[in-house]
Amino acid sequence: MSHRLTLCADDFAQSPAISAGILALLERRRLSATSVFSLSPLWPSLASELSPYAHHADIGLHCNLTHPFDDGARPLGHWLLHSQLRLLSRRQLCDVLLRQIDAFADALGRLPAYLDGHQHVHALPVVRDALFDAIALRWRAPAKPYLRAPDRLGDGGDSQGKGIVLKVLCAGFAGLTARRGYHTPSWFGGLYSLSAEADFPGLMRRWLRHCPDGSLIMCHPGLPANDSGDPIASVRQQEYRYLASPAFEEDCQRYDVTLLPFVQAAKLGS
């Protein structure tokens, strides 16, 4: 049965090699979305290169609290602990997110098509409330971005335990977004160990085979780079090679998958 999929590359503007790889895949229509680090010093100059692809791919904001683009970043463990204990300031988090939304819009000339989070921080308790506050301050009703719901993870790849933890930490996010009138993909995939030994092509074939119509899968491709600050640099190269290859196109045809922006993939507005 034919099904539509939003394939999203995370981490645009993290580095030149990552961004160049994503742009190359967008050019070949091997992606249908990408998530931007808007506080990256690279973003203002890269926005003009990304803009032409907005007609066939969603361009969204990769909400960031952990990657060290500024002094406000903290390790993921900090946010996991303090969010579960409700020890975070909703107002301060809203200000952080507004800064990232504004930096995105200033460079691209439009608001993000969607919001997700680096290491899924956007769906954590308290952070999610700040996210809704920030959206209310920047979007005019009835317009709203769509949101990635990590608790709708359908397949944890080769890291089932990691997937269970993620769903527990983000529990209730999908239901909360629905009650507030947001659209979210009903199935989410792309989680795996991000290790050099992982069989990314095999995992992607599994996801393509099982994902329902209107799903979203994340990926993390990039061109080869000697980047000691990126612990998954070698994995990015593996993902890029497969996504750019004839094999990926053949796999999409084999499983009758069409890559589309989310509004089209989910048949919104039809």
Q: What pLDDT is attached to residue 1? A: 59
CA 238 and chain centroid, separation: 18
Interval 32-48: pLDDT, tens: 999 999 999 999 999 99
What gap in Å lies between CA 33 and CA 185, rounded to an integer?
A: 13
User: To which CATH superfamily is domain 3-265 assigned?
Assistant: Glycoside hydrolase/deacetylase (3.20.20.370)
Indicate the domain borders of the chain.
3-265
Q: Where are the alpha helices (DSSP H) in 127-196?
A: 127-138, 160-169, 173-179
Q: Looking at 8-12, 34-38, 233-237, 262-266, which range is the least confident one? A: 262-266
What gap in Å lies between CA 99 and CA 97, rounded to an integer?
A: 5
Both structure tokens of 33: 């979305």
Give every CB contact of residue 23 below 8 A, 6+ residues apart in sequence: 49, 50, 53
Residue 76 carries which side chain, given as an amino acid letter? L
Per-residue pLDDT at 269 exceeds 60: no
Interval 95-122: pLDDT, tens: 999 999 999 999 999 999 999 999 999 9
